[in-house]
Amino acid sequence: MVRTSACHAEGREFESRRSRHFSDAAFGVHFLLMMTKILLIAFFYLYRLIIELVYFFIYPLLWIYLGSKNYREALSSSFTKADILIHASSLGEINALVSLIRELSQRGHSLAIHTITVTGRERAKSLFLNLPIRLAPLDIPHLRERQMDRCGAKLVLIAETEIWPNMLYASAKHKVPVIFINARISPRTLKSFTMLSPLLGLLASSVKGILAQSMADAERFNQLFPSKAIYSGNLKFALELPDYSVNDVKREWYYTPDDQIICWGSSRPGEEELILSIFQSLKAAHSKLKLILAPRHPKRVKEIVALMAEQEYSLLSELKNSSEILIIDSLGMLAKCYAICDLAIIGGSFYDFGGHNPLEAAYYAKPVIIGNHHSSCRDSVELLRQQRGILVSSKETLEEDIRLILHDKELAREMGAAARLVLTENASALDNHIREIEKCLN
C-alpha cells in the first residue's frame, strides 16, 4: 500500500515536471515569436527611414535621371480621385486586365490606373481614353502616403505579383482594402519572398483577398499572406476582341478566298529571317500561300525590308495590290491579321525573348504554332497544349510543322476549335473577379 502511494506520488511529480517543461517550452516559443515580430517591425521602420533619407539625398540626381527616361511622373504627387485604384506593372498586365477594367467601368465604378512601366501607361491610355492614368509613384513612404490620401480610393486592386511594402503599409494605415487580382507567383519568386513572410503578414492587414490564376498560385500565396487565396482563373482568357468580316478584310488587303495565309505575329529579330528562309520552299507545295509579318515593334520595319532583296513584299500603309508578303507597319492590326489567317505563328518564341500571347490567335479559332522559348506565357501554352490547340515547335522543326498543318485542313480546323474552347472554358475568370471585388465594395 505504501509502495503504491509512493508510486502515485512519483507519477504526480513526473507529470508536474513534464507540465512545467512543456509550459516553459511554450513560453520560449511564444517569446521567440514575439521578439521576431518586434525585430521585424523595427527593421521595417528602419528601412522606411533609410530609403526616405536616401531619396531626399539623391533627389536632384533622381530628378535628372528619371527625366531622361520619361519617368519623372513617378515623383509627382498629383493624383486623381477614384473609388478603385488599379495598380499594374507593364503592358502585358494591362492587356490582361482590359475586360475587367471595362466591366468595372460599365458598372459605374470610378477608376484610376497606375502603372510601373511607361509602355504599360501608354497602352492603358490608348485603351481607356476617359480614365485617369499615370505612372505609379516610387515605393517611398511619403509618396505612397500621398497616393492613398489624395486618390481617396475605397479599394486597391493589385495585379499579379506587385508586392510593394510601403504601398501595403499605406493602404493599411488609411484602412483601404487591397485585393490581388489575376494573381500569380512562381516557385522562384515564392522562395525569394518566403524569408519575408512574417513581415508580409504584418503589412497585410488590409489584404482582403487574393484571386489567383491557378490552384498552384493560390497555394503559393497562402504561404506568404494570412488572407485566404482562392482560385479565380486567368483574366487573360476573358478576351474582348473585334469580330471582323473575314471576307471584307481579305478584299481590303487584296487576298482571294483561295489564298492560304500564314501570320507571324509579334515577330522579333531573327524570326523574319527564319520564316523567309523556308517560305519559298513552302510555296512550292502551296502555290496560293501568302505571308503576313507583324513585327512586335513597328520601328523594325526598315530592318525587315532590308531582308527582302529577293522577295515580293508590300507595306500595309502602301498596299495597292496583292502581295506574297505583307509587312504590317502600324500598331493595332494584329487581331485583324489573326482573324483572316489560316495559321498563326507566335513570335518572340523561336529565340529567347520569352514568347508572346497566343490567346488572341486562339480567340479567332486558328491553329497556333509557338516556339520552345515561351516562358512569359507558359501557363497559357500549357492549357492550349493539353487540349491540342497549339503546337510547340523549334527552329529545326518549324518547316515540317507548318507543312503538317497546311496539308491537313481537318487537323487545322480541330486545332482552331480546341484553342477557342480553352478560352470558352476559362471565361468564368471575369465573373469570379467581379463577384469578389464587389463583395469588398458593398
The CA distance from 88 to 161, in Å, is: 9
**Reported pTM:** 0.70
Model pLDDT for residues 188-215, shown as the tens digit of each residue = 888 888 777 777 877 888 899 999 988 8
pLDDT at 22: 46
Q: Give all domains of the chain, ordered by start, each with its CATH number.
A: 72-238+427-441 (3.40.50.11720), 246-425 (3.40.50.2000)
pLDDT at 339: 97
**Owner of C-alpha cell 507543312:** 403
Rg, Å, the chain Cα set: 28
Q: Which of 167, 208, 162, 200 is nearest to 182 (CA)?
A: 162
pLDDT at 77: 87
**pLDDT, average across residues 162-184:** 93
Q: What cell was used for 115?
A: 502603372
pLDDT at 2: 46
Q: What cell was used for 357?
A: 500571347
Model pLDDT for residues 57-106, shown as the tens digit of each residue = 999 999 999 999 999 999 998 899 999 999 998 887 888 899 999 999 99
For the chain, give the mean pLDDT.
Answer: 89
Q: Which residues on neighbouring strands pair with residue 178, listed in sequence order?
A: 156, 207
Model pLDDT for residues 101-137, shown as the tens digit of each residue = 999 999 999 999 999 999 899 989 988 999 999 999 9
pLDDT grade, residue 141 (50/70/90)? Answer: very high
